[in-house]
Homo-oligomer: A and B are copies of this chain.
Amino acid sequence: AVNGSRLWQSLMDMAQIGATPKGGVCRLALTDLDKQGRDLFVRWCEEAGCTVSVDRMGNIFARRPGRDDSLPPVIMGSHLDSQPTGGKYDGVYGVLAGLEVVRSLNDMNYVTEAPVEVAVWTNEEGSRFAPAMVSSGVFAGVFDLDYGLSRADLDGKTMGEELARIGYAGDREVGGRKVGAYFEAHIEQGPILEIEGKTIGVVTDCQGQRWYEITFTGQEAHAGPTPMVRRKDALLGAARVVDAVNRIGMKYGPLACATVGLMQIHPNSRNVIPGRVFFTVDFRHPDDGILAAMDGELRAEVERIAGGIGLETDFQQIWYYAPIKFDESCVAAVRKGVERTGHSFRDIVSGAGHDACYLSKVAPTAMVFIPCIDGISHNEVEETTPEWSTAGCEVLLHAVLDRANA
């Protein structure tokens, strides 16, 4: 049994840091607020008797010893960074559910065979620094350390600089150690569990992703005396790509997702034809072949649209990972946890990327989802319930015990 109200209170306390007027959180990776959130987490872990270490990507590990401390640890975790207008649970829930498992084990004076750790992964959101999940990616050897540290925000500040600035450039090597198992609890961020009235999602797969950065360059000119036919309007090109991206998402639906989330217009003045537009594309699909087909269509559309109005194009795919299947024995451990606790459940494919996706490359991995109201996430109104929160933590506890005592 876990202490659900203690977990809920910790969620509410963490949500004070970067709280927004609409009930959400703005705690972008490696800002002063992110440092405050990390400091609070570290204090809580130390109060729970854990030993805390930080690696060179700023990933934090709070360790509770096992009976045989030489065994590879079972790690629970997620992230504390948020979107600019994010919610109180995305990431934070997985971190604090992990902490609640540790606190509950302490309450029971329970000693696991293997050590248990709670991890906080740096810059999971991919909002301030792209791509997402970059530090769990370095941990898993998918990215090298230099790549991770050199990721820059739109102002040119790098993760390496910002880690040093907030005091979280640790000295521990990133990854390179054996992990017994990795479990991540998370809100679903989609509508399925709530629609079907299920409390727990047993996550079997994650869909694949492709992220792109596109810059169109045309020619700045006066909006008044420049005839329509002489224009090279970079925003017109970008707008047509936004529409094409939506068309591609609809065409490969209902499982495809296709989004333009970020756009910067230059010089962004009412009476100047935009000369340069930078924007991003986010494609997702659980089938890698379809994701590749979407990629092909995007490339063709961008070429056609830019060619049609004389724009120069810089087109980069900056991130790709294929759909991921979680470890069968870890998924089974989650399913067993659901059976023991008696919560309703269904198997589910994650629509979002998670640090678990990269951890699965180096450790047996699975995830536990709980519902969120109306399926809304990456929004200040993101909400779940104390009951669901407690249920997910119970399942996490059972799955962890299953593996830590194996």
Contact = CB atoms under 8 A, between A and B. Distances in A.
A34 to B, nearest CB: 15
Interface string A366-406: 00000000011111100000000000000000000000000
Interface of A: 83-85, 125-127, 130, 132, 188-191, 207, 209, 211, 219-230, 233, 235-236, 238-240, 242-243, 246, 249-250, 253-254, 256-275, 280, 282, 284, 350-353, 375-380
Oligomer copy total: 2
A190 B261 contact: no
Given A189-B224, A219-B379, A226-B375, A263 B261 contact: no
A132 to B, nearest CB: 7
Contacts of A189: 222, 224-226
Contacts of A262: 265, 268-270
A187 to B, nearest CB: 10
27 contacts: A84-B269, A84-B272, A130-B270, A191-B227, A221-B375, A221-B376, A221-B379, A222-B379, A223-B259, A224-B353, A225-B257, A226-B257, A227-B254, A227-B257, A228-B250, A228-B258, A229-B253, A236-B246, A236-B260, A239-B242, A239-B243, A261-B268, A261-B271, A261-B272, A263-B263, A263-B268, A272-B379
Contact of A267 (B83, B236, B272): B83
Contact of A126 (B84, B271, B280, B376): B271
Q: Does more than half of chain A's interface fall in helix, strand or loop, or is it mixed?
A: loop
B378 A127 contact: no
A231 to B, nearest CB: 8
A291 to B, nearest CB: 13
A223 B257 contact: yes
